[in-house]
Amino acid sequence: MSALLLTLADIRLSIGGEPLFENASLNVGTRARIALVGRNGSGKSTLMKIAAGLVEADGGERFIHPGATVRYLAQEPDASGYDAIGDYARAGLDETGKAHEAEMMLEELGLNPSLSPLKLSGGELRRAAIAQALAAAPDILLLDEPTNHLDLPAIAWLEQKLRALPSAIVVISHDRRFLETVTNDTVWIDRGATRATGSGFKDFEAWRDKFLEEEEAALHKLGRKIAAEEHWMRYGVTARRKRNMRRVGELKSMRKQLREAKRVEGGPTFTLQAGAASGKRAIVAEHVSKSYGERKIIDDFSIEIARGDRIGFVGPNGAGKTTLINLITGAVEPDEGSIKLGTNLEIVSLDQRRARLKPEMRVADAINDGTGDWVTINGEKRHVATYLKDFLFGPEQWRQPVTALSGGERGRLALAAALAKPSNLLILDEPTNDLDLETLEMLEDQLSAYEGTLLLISHDRAFLDNLVASVVAPAPEKPGRWIRYAGGYDDMVAQRGSAPGLEGASAKQKQAKQKSSPENPKPAPKAKLSYKEQFALKNLPGEIDTLQTQIAALKTKLDDPDLFSKDPALFDKTAKDLAAAEETLAEKEEEWLVLEMKREELEN
């Protein structure tokens, strides 16, 4: 059993008279790997600051082992007061070796130590702060959203470093794949208390759902009914070829009802506002190129995007992902080639920098562009305060200026503003930044049901795998060339042999990235339906409905008592058509049922 380095016991804290923590605890042992999770506003960052000694609780105990060192990576690092980023990265690293390690990490992260912090982007400043924290090799490392604004190569680099680091680690992150990779324990903050799961984040969602199911006795009856239906699904149909589609549909509806009922109290409940259908071809780009100065960002790129396509765009920061999307959607003129936009397009964009959120505007003005305090969502007129409540905003916040919001609240506000507008082509640039896991799950659910075309830039690998059917990434070792790969993020990496931006890594670095420590093995990719199976599962219900309509029409024709005497040949043909249609229907229903059961098993 590992020795305890840091203990928080019975922590109590109120903010503005409202209790944030009533019974929160945290135990950090040597080489711990803890994911600290909970929805926005639950107090994750505050509890981490209490652990770091930066915030004093109203009650409870904080114990740190004598001599133990702590490093805290803030969600928004501050390098003010330093002339160069190298000075900031070396701050507090008295030992020559550690200072040199910080400089090496800056180099690995592509940062020039002589740069002024005033000239750095948010992502670059975060890289410098990560170099500072990791180079210290503290006994306890506290990381608050370390992957925010990092690209995929930087996230892979960070995962490798953390796996090799002897420090105990407590991390807050919305990046599920990152948490699965680096943690072996999870602490959940829920309604002012903490609960440790005893396992890594990869098991958290199943654990949380089980906990909530057991906690809410009112759901037990529904749970028993579902269990009975699942028993019928698994054993009652084995002797039948034709499946009872109505009963399967009812089971699916009950499962959805159970999932919604099990959501943590106070979670987000937003919906997407759908626009009218666009033309079948949303975008056709032919041999387009774009350069800035002597640098060619896009070189001879062609793509055809059909209505309903879901495409992810990935690559290192600065590769040109945003430029590429702006190019093919007509926001930027190409130097060469042609762009044709389809008919009836209603385009809504969420930009990475949330530029539409002006600091001086009211929160409500971000939703309705300053036209009033009401907004229409899917035909329903709602007050902005009611609409914002779905995104976890308090009733008084709609009057506040944007400057009063936290980073997470600004992320949710930008999302609320984008989703309030009807669209059939949705462009999301890093939508998961600053979102808590529950809001992320809800966004994923809504986007899964979105019937329009989706263009998504994201460094969240799990988010991409769960949503997109193809990925556009820069070609290996060919600046300006982009390739469209079938499948999600993991499928793209499998086809390329490496993640974008990691092609130049040495064999030793690649081996280190693939190697996992014995205490924290790298999880295997999550099993999922193939894209052929996903396509079939999506389209089979429509085919089944068509067949049922055909069968009803054929039966109506055969019900004519005079048909056989008037036209025996037509009667025979209709009877044969009916038999063939019924056989095809049985096959389609069976295929759908098998795929649906497989999907449920994989999700569970």
In order of 227, 535, 582, the CA distances from 586 in angstroms are 25, 19, 6
pLDDT at 592: 79
The answer to whether the CB of 350 falls within 8 A of the CB of 456 is: no
Question: Cα separation of 37 and 204, whole Å?
Answer: 9
Average pLDDT score, the chain: 83
| Average pLDDT, integer, range 12-33 | 92
pLDDT tens digits, 77-113: 889 889 999 999 998 887 777 888 999 999 999 899 9
Give the number of domains in the chain.
Answer: 4
Question: Cα separation of 465 and 445, whole Å?
Answer: 13
Q: What is the pLDDT confidence band of residue 441, given thresholds at 50, 70 and 90?
A: confident
Give 306's contacts (C-beta < 8 A, 6+ positions apart).
280, 281, 282, 453
The answer to whether the CB of 363 falls within 8 A of the CB of 389 is: no
pLDDT tens digits, 270-290: 667 777 788 889 999 999 999
Are 228 and 286 in the same domain? no
Are 221 and 203 in the same domain? no
pLDDT at 14: 92
Are 235 and 292 in the same domain? no
For residue 317, the tally of other CB atoms under 10 A from its CB is: 18
Give 506's contacts (C-beta < 8 A, 6+ positions apart).
none
Nearest to 51 by CA among 2, 7, 3, 4: 7
- Asked whether residue 522 is assigned to any structural domain, the reply reads no
pLDDT at 5: 96
Are 310 and 201 in the same domain? no
In the three-class reduction of DSSP (H, G, I as helix; E, B as strand; rest coil), residue 103 is classed as helix
pLDDT at 143: 97
Does position 519 have pLDDT exceeding 90, yes or no?
no
- Which residue type occupies 438? E
pLDDT at 352: 65
pLDDT at 351: 76
The answer to whether the CB of 26 falls within 8 A of the CB of 170 is: yes
Task: Write the Ramachandran bin of 170: left for phi over 0, alpha for psi from -120 to 50, otherwise beta.
Answer: beta
Q: What is the pLDDT confidence band of residue 594, given thresholds at 50, 70 and 90?
A: confident
In order of 356, 371, 396, the CA distances from 413 in angstroms are 10, 17, 14
Q: What is the dihedral of CA 284, 286, 292, 295, to 10 degrees?
A: 130
pLDDT at 516: 40
The answer to whether the CB of 420 falls within 8 A of the CB of 388 is: no
Most confident stretch, 83-92, 119-128, 365-374: 83-92
The answer to whether the CB of 155 falls within 8 A of the CB of 6 is: no
Nearest to 34 by CA among 158, 201, 178: 201
HSE-up (13 A, CA, CB side) for residue 275:
23
The answer to whether the CB of 289 falls within 8 A of the CB of 298 is: yes
Partnered with residue 20 across adjacent β-strands are none
Partnered with residue 13 across adjacent β-strands are 21
Task: Write the Ramachandran bin of 198: left for phi over 0, alpha for psi from -120 to 50, otherwise beta.
Answer: left
pLDDT tens digits, 321-336: 999 999 999 999 999 9
What burial class does residue 151 get, using C-beta atoms within 10 Å of its C-beta: 0-12 exposed, 13-18 middle, 19+ buried? buried
CATH of the domain at 176: 3.40.50.300
User: What sign does the CA torsion over 487, 316, 417, 143 have?
Assistant: positive
Does position 506 have pLDDT exceeding 60, yes or no?
no
Are 108 and 164 in the same domain? yes
Are 84 and 57 in the same domain? yes
Give 7's contacts (C-beta < 8 A, 6+ positions apart).
25, 26, 27, 28, 61, 62, 63, 64
- Asked whether residue 268 is assigned to any structural domain, the reply reads no
How much of the chain is helix, strand and coil, in % rounded to 5? 45, 20, 35
Domain extent at residue 572: 531-603
- Asked whether residue 272 is assigned to any structural domain, the reply reads no
- Which residue type occupies 521? P
- Asked whether residue 269 is assigned to any structural domain, the reply reads no
Question: Cα separation of 373 and 220, whole Å?
Answer: 41
Are 366 and 480 in the same domain? yes
Are 116 and 243 in the same domain? no
Question: Cα separation of 195 and 333, whole Å?
Answer: 53
pLDDT at 564: 76
Q: What percent of the chain has pLDDT over 90?
A: 38
What burial class does residue 173 get, using C-beta atoms within 10 Å of its C-beta: 0-12 exposed, 13-18 middle, 19+ buried? buried
Does position 510 have pLDDT exceeding 50, yes or no?
no
Are 341 and 239 in the same domain? no
pLDDT tens digits, 218-275: 555 656 666 656 555 554 544 343 445 555 566 556 655 655 554 444 556 666 777 7
- Which residue type occupies 112? N
Helical ranges in 390-469 per DSSP H: 407-419, 437-449, 461-467
pLDDT at 246: 57
Are 289 and 393 in the same domain? yes
In order of 153, 311, 361, 528, 537, the CA distances from 470 in angstroms are 20, 5, 38, 15, 17
CATH of the domain at 569: 1.10.287
Are 144 and 225 in the same domain? no
Any idea which of 70-79, 378-387, 530-539 has the lowest mean pLDDT? 530-539
Any idea which of 198-207, 402-411, 506-515, 595-604 has the lowest mean pLDDT? 506-515
Are 92 and 39 in the same domain? yes
pLDDT at 188: 95
pLDDT at 511: 44
pLDDT at 254: 61
- Asked whether residue 523 is assigned to any structural domain, the reply reads no
- Asked whether residue 396 is assigned to any structural domain, the reply reads yes
pLDDT at 24: 95
Does position 523 have pLDDT exceeding 80, yes or no?
no
Q: What is the dihedral of CA 226, 228, 229, 233, to 10 degrees?
A: 130
Which residue would you say has higher pLDDT here, 592 or 453? 453
For residue 349, the tally of other CB atoms under 10 A from its CB is: 18
Residue-wise DSSP of 345-377: --EEEE-TT-TT--TTSBHHHHHHTTS-SEEEE
pLDDT at 508: 40
- Asked whether residue 520 is assigned to any structural domain, the reply reads no
| Average pLDDT, integer, range 378-405 | 85
- Asked whether residue 297 is assigned to any structural domain, the reply reads yes
